[in-house]
Structure 1
Amino acid sequence: MRFVLASHNQKKLRELGDILGALGIEVVPLPEGAPEPEENGQTFEENACIKARAAAALTGLPAVADDSGLCVDALDGAPGIYSARYCEGTDADRNAFLLANMAGQENRTCRFVCAIACVQPDGTAFTVRGECEGQLLRECQGTGGFGYDPLFYVPAYGCTFGELPQEVKNQISHRAQALKRLAERLKPNRQE
């Protein structure tokens, strides 16, 4: 199977491409200069659909898109769908802003959420979701991954996503869980 991946984020392209490739799905990048649609949905699923529909319409290929983010319980689920736009600047700026907003908070439970939309050129679509539970640290640890990975502590592994080897993260992350569900849905002989 061949899909266009609706993202210009090179780190996300690499991570999604690695995981989907291992599932037997060929991923082609969105054409250079393709416009990014406005993500004005109210849920991860709505935003993923917006991106996938735009990519399928532009390329004529089946498209997959993800929308993902960090949901922190003490912040009523923020930054959530606004994770990449939580504040202006770099990943480090967003991590510092999140830590400032968490000052004095004892409840550090959080989860990464990923919704993936699959849209066919004829407009048929479905979404799948994956989640990974963790704890928000009080300072960054590790230099791997991207986004909030250095703050996201996974108790079962005793380290952050920023410290986990990429191949391990690719097996346990929210994105990996969603992609496994996607692959299951795409199997040709799947029973409804």
Structure 2
Amino acid sequence: MELVFATNNEHKLKEVQEMVGDKFTLKSLSDIGCHDDIPETGDTFAINAKQKTDYLVERFQVNCFGDDSGLEIDALNGEPGVYSARYSGSRDMEKNIDLVLDKLKDKSDRNARFKTVISLYLNGEQYFFEGTVEGRIIDTRTGTEGFGYDPIFIPSGYDKTFAEMSLEEKNKISHRSKAVGALVAFLKEQ
């Protein structure tokens, strides 16, 4: 089955394709000739994910899925949340991480979670899948793998950051893998 993943983020595409396996062929936005900046103006992950699939269905009439993910930090009242990718006012992840670390410097509560919501549009129907991984934020970047906030996030039950884990190890426990796992299980029943 062919599905368009509403992303041009090669890291995400690679992660998800590895989880999906060869039963499904994923195409990126550029693969279908979509070079638009799809709006993400919602105040929840679900609304942003749905905006992506609605946009693709309206313009390209394709079966597709889109996700929105982010980091929620308890001591920051859930920030950066839906603004995770542009928390510092830009998409520069180094600046975003710096802002998080600066805001947390005097906070003892370092509890946080990564959350993903996937919106799937398949044969005229809309479905949603969610994944969450609990953890904590550390004071300094550690590791070189992954992307985004991975260098400062240690998942619960582990002693290393997502950025210190191999892709295979991260995919066993990540928020995205949980949401994609639910998506794939659903697709296999179709």
TM superposition score category, shorter chain reference: over 0.9
Relative to the length of structure 1, the TM-score reads 0.91
What secondary structure does 2:21 align onto?
A: helix
Partner deviation per Cα, 1:127-164 (whole Å, 9 max, x = no partner): 11000001100111001100000000124231000001
Shift of the 167–33 alpha-carbon distance from structure 1 to 2, 3 Å rule, reads same
Structure 2: which amino acid aligns with 1:93? Answer: K
Match of 1:93 among 69, 90, 95: 95
> After TM superposition, what 4+ stretches of structure 1 lie above 4 angstroms from structure 2?
none
What secondary structure does 1:184 align onto?
A: helix
Q: Tell me the residue number matched to 2:126.
A: 125
For structure 1, list consecutive stretches of 5 or more residues without a partner in the other structure: none
Matching of residue 27 in structure 1 with residue 45 in structure 2: no
- Report the Cα offset of residue 99 of structure 1: 0.3
What secondary structure does 1:67 align onto?
A: strand
Q: Tell me the residue number matched to 1:36.
A: 37
Higher mean alpha-carbon deviation, 82-91 vs 169-178, is at 82-91
Matches within 5 A, 1:162-173: 162-173=163-174
Q: Tell me the residue number matched to 2:4.
A: 4
Structure 1: which amino acid aligns with 2:28? Answer: P
Relative to the length of structure 2, the TM-score reads 0.92
What secondary structure does 1:127 align onto?
A: strand
Q: Tell me the residue number matched to 2:115.
A: 113
Higher mean alpha-carbon deviation, 68-77 vs 177-186, is at 177-186
Q: Tell me the residue number matched to 1:146.
A: 147
RMSD: 1.5
For structure 2, list consecutive stretches of 5 or more residues without a partner in the other structure: none
Matching of residue 65 in structure 1 with residue 66 in structure 2: yes
CA distance in 2, matches of 1:32, 1:72: 36
CA distance in 1, matches of 2:91, 2:55: 26
Matching of residue 17 in structure 1 with residue 37 in structure 2: no
Shift of the 177–89 alpha-carbon distance from structure 1 to 2, 3 Å rule, reads closer
